[in-house]
């Protein structure tokens, strides 16, 4: 088995601030994902990466950057936090890009 760790669990920032969320997995999976989940809604894909140093834009990439410098870690940066993007950010990984995904517990973002 393995685990996905997301840090921090809770992130509070000011409007306009640059904020970074981190994700680590020890499954040795190739593919990693970042999703945004607004309250009571489904998941929207922000970025994904099929291997180290690869980045692919999802449906909601505007306003975000991502970085995959190691196979085990995938970071997401909110370039300028806005109040309308308060949500839970979920990281996931999979052995290949169509296969089942394993999820972390999420980072809850609050923008003041």
DSSP letter assigned to residue 102? E
Token code pair at residue 10: 């809770």
CB of residue 15 to other proteins, shortest distance in Å:
25
Q: Does 109 bind other proteins (CB under 8 A)?
A: no
Q: How far is the CB of 85 from other proteins (least distance, A)?
A: 18
- Here's the x/- map for other proteins, 16-55, by CB under 8 A: it reads as ------------------------xxxx-x--x-x-----
Q: In terms of CB distance, is 75 or 93 closer to other proteins?
A: 93
Residues between 65 and 104 that touch other proteins (CB under 8 A)? 90, 92, 97-104
Per the listing, tokens 């040795």 go with 28
Compute CA distances 80 → 8, 37, 52, 72, whole Å: 18, 18, 25, 26
* Alpha carbon distances (Å) from 78 to 11, 27, 75, 82, 94: 11, 26, 10, 9, 23
Residue bearing tokens 């640059």: 18
**Residues making contact with other proteins (CB under 8 A):** 4, 40-43, 45, 48, 50, 58, 90, 92, 97-106
């Amino acid at each position: 088995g393995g685990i996905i760790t997301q840090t921090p669990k809770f992130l509070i920032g000011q409007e306009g601030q640059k904020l970074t969320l981190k994700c680590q997995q020890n499954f040795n999976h190739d593919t990693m994902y970042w999703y945004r989940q607004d309250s009571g809604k489904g998941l929207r894909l922000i970025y994904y990466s099929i291997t180290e140093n690869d980045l692919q834009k999802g449906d909601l990439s505007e306003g975000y950057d991502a970085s995959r410098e190691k196979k085990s870690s995938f970071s997401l940066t909110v370039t300028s936090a806005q109040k309308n993007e308060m949500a839970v950010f979920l990281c996931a990984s999979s052995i290949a890009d169509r296969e089942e995904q394993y999820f972390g517990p999420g980072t809850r973002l609050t923008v003041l």
